[in-house]
A and B are shown apart, each in its own frame.
Chain A
Amino acid sequence: MNEQVLLGLADDELVLGWRESEWTGIAPLLEEDVAFSSIAQNEIGHARAVYELIVGEDGDADALAFDRKLDEYRCSPLVELHLLEWAHTIARRWLYEVADEIRITALKDDPDTAVAGLAAKIDREEAYHRMHAEMWHDRLGDEPRFQAAVEDLWPYAVGMLPEGLRADLAVRTGLDLPSNNLLQGHERGTHTPELAPLWDEMTIVRRSAPTGAQW
């Protein structure tokens, strides 16, 4: 089991789930309010399951999720971006789901059966996220504003995957891989300035009640 790969997956799903939940209550359509809330809930559920797998039966998944320092997170810059703009939000949804499918498909063949089993379970749910993303991609694909958003975020989407999986992403999206220069600052392993305020918000309960909050 490659722990760094799993941590990257879990951190992506946690942070993106957090970002998607920012649309709850303010999405442009009621249907999308429901959709983004559900997707966020699923992504955070996937993050929890992967953290639990990493720490093992007696480990503390919350500690792994929320007690790390900012630079210890393995999420990709794509999911960190604070995008309260619909064209970019949908562009990220679509790019993320295409890249995520490639990554999850690879994990389904992992020699560790616990990893492969969880990846297969996650994949069943992600199928509905992909349907949603495809629906929007079909609807907005010809719009210049959407195309510009995809172009903006494309280096980030490439930076989400290890080099060996990037060619597949280019084929599936029909886009050309960017040069190494353009990838700088967009790849996993670096962080955007937008992660710090999110980390602050995400960890504040744990930091203010280190011995555990009681509800």
Chain B
Amino acid sequence: MVAEAEVWEALEEIPDPEIPVVSLVDLGVIRSVDVAEGQVRIEFTPTFLGCPALEFMKRAIEEKVPGAVVKVIQDDSWSTDKITPAGREKLRAAGFAPPAPRLVQLQSQVHRCPYCGSTETKLENIFGPTPCRSLRYCESCRQPFEQFKTI
């Protein structure tokens, strides 16, 4: 029989289809894993509702954990605050500025460059290559970068 911890370990190996440096567990989209009487149940929440990777993620989970019942939960339980500290560091290292925590973002409009750490950055476009990203430009190291939106 599969243990809950093994399911989490398997899920940690599934990369996000659009930002493969982070796993679904890093992103915090796995809401629960439940193993009862040999049946695995996994609940997960989409990041953005229009994310085309949604079906892809669902299938990836079903392939990684054969026999699991995967349920998509469309409530308000996910925000970018659910991205784990390890996930944030992986994003930053790959050149994506991780989203600031919601409370911080609401109080200050500071966005830090993921390359040099400077806060002298400016918004180029609220929208970017995917719904979850904005485009910014660092005035200090003159590097454009993608900012994961805080939602």
Contact = CB atoms under 8 A, between A and B. Distances in A.
A124 B131 CA distance: 12
B76 A117 contact: yes
A41 interface: yes
Nearest to B51: A45
A34 B49 contact: no
Nearest to B128: A34
Given A53-B74, A118-B74, A125-B151, A46 B126 contact: no
Contacts of A65: none
Interface string A49-78: 100110000000000000000000000000
A37 B130 CA distance: 10
Given A52-B74, A120-B76, A132-B127, A127 B49 contact: no
A49 B79 contact: no
- Which range holds the interface residue count of chain B? 20 to 34
A121 B126 contact: no
A41 B74 contact: no
A53 B125 CA distance: 32
B9 interface: no
A132 B126 contact: yes
Contact of B49 (A35, A48, A128, A131): A48
A30 B51 CA distance: 22
Interface of A: 31, 34-35, 37-39, 41-46, 48-49, 52-53, 113-114, 117-118, 120-122, 124-125, 127-128, 131-132, 135
